[in-house]
Amino acid sequence: MFHGGKSTGPVTYGGKQRCAEAKTIHGRETRLKRVNRSEKLAELKFYFNLLTVNKNN
């Protein structure tokens, strides 16, 4: 009748990684989008600081 019980989730390291990558945080925002946004923001801050240092010299 029954198949053996509820799922216990991913067991292997690869399965856990795939699950973590696929997990959405809120709405349409995925972990990958958050990483990309963070990298672009760091790049923007770098160039902003570069411009402000050059302006002060």
27 within domain boundaries: yes
- Check whether 28 has a pLDDT greater than 80: no
pLDDT for the residue 40: 97
Do 21 and 34 contact (CB within 8 A), yes or no?
A: no
Count: domains in the chain: 1
Q: Give the orientation angle of helix 13-22 with respect to helix 31-56, to 10 degrees.
A: 70
Residue 45 CA: distances (Å) to CA of 20, 34, 40, 52 = 28, 16, 9, 10
C-alpha–C-alpha distance, residues 40 and 11, integer Å: 34
Domain assignment of residue 46, given as a range: 14-56
1 within domain boundaries: no
Q: What is the pLDDT of residues 29-38, one digit of tens each?
A: 777 788 899 9
Do 20 and 31 contact (CB within 8 A), yes or no?
A: yes
- Check whether 54 has a pLDDT greater than 60: yes
- Considering the entire predicted model, what is its pTM? 0.49
pLDDT for the residue 3: 72
- Check whether 18 has a pLDDT greater than 70: yes
